[in-house]
């Protein structure tokens, strides 16, 4: 009989299990929203880093070419070796490349897009369909195509 009582004492009661499940639920209810906010913060930090890289590349291009990259050839002019006039290099002095590739947008409706669109204003006031970045060729300014983060 003492053997049966020892066996019974080693098991958890139903009340103990329910209490543990309730505690785990409360902890999850607190922790999951905090982790989600952390993920959003990481996207914004990555966006700010990408904008800094893009803006730096644009400035280096302007310094060497005495002009801003054009909208139509933006990616080619920043990711390949170019001539003084911005055309793809064939002979003479070499300029660039300034980027390995245009980074994909990390936030917003057009997340993962790398296309460059024209900014209608400086800074933009509206998103442009299917573009990752908005570029103002007259000022050499670039923004994320995400109305929440235009001011970054």
Task: Detail the DSSP E strand segments found in 86-125.
Answer: 116-118
What digits encode the pLDDT tens for the residues 2-23? Answer: 555 555 567 778 888 899 999 9
For 46-63, what is the mean pLDDT?
94
pLDDT digits (tens, 9 = 90+) for 96-112: 899 999 999 988 899 99
What's the pTM value of the predicted model, to 2 decimals?
Answer: 0.72
Mean pLDDT, all residues of the chain = 87
- Overall domain count for the chain: 1
Distance separating alpha carbons of residues 6 and 57, to the nearest angstrom: 73
Domain that holds residue 98: 2-149
Contacts of 144 by beta carbon, 8 Å cutoff, 6+ apart:
47, 50, 51, 105, 106, 107, 108, 132, 133, 134, 150, 152
């Amino acid at each position: 009989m003492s053997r049966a009582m020892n066996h019974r004492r080693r098991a958890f009661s139903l009340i103990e299990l329910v209490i543990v499940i309730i505690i785990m639920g409360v902890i999850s209810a607190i922790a999951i929203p905090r982790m989600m906010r952390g993920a959003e913060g990481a996207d914004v930090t990555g966006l700010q880093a990408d904008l800094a890289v893009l803006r730096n590349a644009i400035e280096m291009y302007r310094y060497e070419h005495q002009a801003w990259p054009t909208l139509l050839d933006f990616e080619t002019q920043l990711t390949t070796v170019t001539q003084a006039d911005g055309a793809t290099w064939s002979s003479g002095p070499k300029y660039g490349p300034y980027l390995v590739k245009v980074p994909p947008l990390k936030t917003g409706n057009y997340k993962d897009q790398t296309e460059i669109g024209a900014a209608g204003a400086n800074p933009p006031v509206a998103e442009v369909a299917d573009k990752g970045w908005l570029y103002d060729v007259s000022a050499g300014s670039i923004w994320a195509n995400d109305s929440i983060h235009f001011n970054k």
